């Protein structure tokens, strides 16, 4: 090979090499995916190359694990109070607790509504309202008893007292329709879009008879819901003017959305449980049908196909990523903090079956790498980023814990 001796060519070559070096990612990747074992649906093919089993990433980050508090009864949701006032944590049994930074657990905060506490039902997510500094409003989701064993996913709000012991002015801002006899698949994350709206996720209550309701626009099974903070419906919702649809519906065709997050650019993303295989990461767009149970990358628990085994159909959106076998996702968050600079903008997902945390690298809306972290933690139900950039996790056990993961 002959190289040019011209000084400008040599400078250009050196500059190109330097630019390439600077552009290399700080986190190594392999061509092989995470070793998770055989697929449950081996004959199904992804719709595009990056849709599943992304290259395994190795960030080389060492994590320190600290227990903040333990002895929690199946904790489900975490919310970080402002000004260093600690954390709110729900227990599925129906109690909301205040936990201080040093791990002191309060008595149950008074004023929360009764919940149905059986199977997957209970007190679920909790969130600090966007105007908490002026109105002290907090929000939560729960399985609302509807009589005769029936229940529904509901979202409520109330004013948290200054001493953090009581919630007053309690009201529901959303109640799923219709009520269900099945205490399963409540979905149940609540978050805010920064434009005066609450976004709420639901499930389709699991049974073959009910799961088809995820496709019905006159029911809020298997949906994302968008309401104003007081529960009224925004006029620009996609089905607000459609007489045969419920106006609060934002998207549909979901199975059981237990993770949701707003990206830095304002995008709304969710993650939902598949059946046996087929957990889905979705970028949510208004009015879009995400397919369940007409299409799925999973199979039924008995090994049979879901709706004929179709993975694609016109008019139904593909997941941006899916897992087979499943990770059983809990909460998720896009990282925005100072402690882990190389992880800025990455997606972190609490996992119940694969254990610990799943980290995804994204290029736009394409997953380019996957890493498993803290896999010794077992069933992680929710994840949040604290003010210092460390991670807060809760483990879903009868003797559950609030944990912190920091840089070593």
Catalytic residue annotation: 185
| Peptide bond connecting 293 to the previous residue in cis, omega within 30 degrees of 0 | yes
Q: Quick one: residue 355, left, alpha or beta (phi over 0 = left, psi -120 to 50 = alpha)?
A: left
Of 187, 189, 186, 125, the C-alpha closest to 151 is 186
Say if residues 266 and 194 touch (Cβ distance below 8 Å). yes
Q: Which residue has the tokens 């992880």?
A: 343
Q: Is the peptide bond before 178 cis (omega within 30 degrees of 0)?
A: yes
> Is-contact 339 407, C-beta < 8 A?
yes
Reduce the DSSP state of residue 20 to 3 states and report it.
Answer: helix
Distance CA 228, CA 250 (A): 12
DSSP secondary structure code for residue 232 in this structure: P
Backbone φ, ψ for residue 14 (5° rounding): -65, -40
How open is the CA angle 94-100-102, to the nearest 5 degrees? 130
Instruction: State the Cα–Cα distance between residues 361 and 348, nearest whole angstrom.
Output: 9
């Amino acid at each position: 090979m002959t190289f040019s001796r011209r000084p400008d060519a040599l400078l250009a070559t050196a500059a190109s090499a330097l630019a390439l070096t600077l552009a290399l990612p700080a986190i190594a990747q392999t061509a092989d995916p995470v070793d998770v074992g055989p697929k449950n649906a081996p004959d199904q093919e992804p719709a595009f190359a990056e849709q599943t089993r992304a290259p395994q990433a190795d960030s080389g980050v060492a994590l320190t694990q600290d227990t903040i508090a333990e002895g929690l009864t199946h904790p489900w949701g975490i919310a970080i109070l402002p000004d260093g006032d600690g954390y709110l944590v729900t227990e599925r049994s129906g109690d909301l607790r205040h936990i201080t930074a040093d791990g002191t657990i309060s008595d149950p905060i008074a004023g929360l509504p009764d919940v149905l506490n059986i199977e997957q039902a209970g007190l679920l997510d909790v969130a600090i309202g966007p105007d908490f500094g002026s109105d002290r409003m907090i929000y939560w989701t729960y399985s609302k008893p509807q009589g005769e064993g029936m229940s529904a996913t509901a979202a409520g709000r109330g004013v948290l007292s200054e001493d953090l012991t009581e919630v007053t002015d309690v009201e529901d801002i959303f109640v799923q329709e219709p009520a269900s006899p099945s205490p399963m698949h409540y979905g149940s994350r609540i978050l805010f879009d920064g434009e005066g709206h609450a976004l709420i996720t639901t499930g389709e209550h699991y049974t073959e008879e009910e799961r088809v309701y995820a496709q019905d626009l006159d029911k809020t099974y298997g949906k994302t819901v968008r309401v104003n903070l007081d529960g009224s419906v925004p006029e620009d919702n996609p089905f607000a003017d459609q007489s045969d649809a419920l106006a609060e519906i934002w998207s549909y065709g979901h199975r059981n959305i237990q993770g949701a997050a707003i990206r830095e650019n304002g995008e709304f993303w969710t993650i939902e449980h598949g059946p046996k295989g087929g957990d889905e990461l979705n970028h949510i767009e208004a009015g879009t049908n995400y397919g369940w149970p007409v299409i799925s990358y999973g199979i039924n628990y008995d090994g049979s196909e879901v709706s004929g085994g179709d993975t694609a159909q016109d008019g139904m959106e593909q997941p941006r990523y899916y897992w087979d076998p499943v990770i059983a996702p809990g909460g998720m968050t896009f990282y925005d903090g100072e402690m882990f600079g190389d992880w800025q903008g990455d997606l972190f997902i609490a996992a119940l079956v694969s254990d610990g945390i799943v980290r995804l690298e994204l290029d736009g809306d394409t997953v380019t790498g996957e890493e498993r972290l803290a896999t010794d933690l077992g069933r992680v139900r929710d994840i949040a980023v604290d003010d210092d950039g460390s991670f807060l996790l809760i483990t879903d056990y009868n003797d559950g814990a609030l944990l912190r993961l920091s840089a070593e």
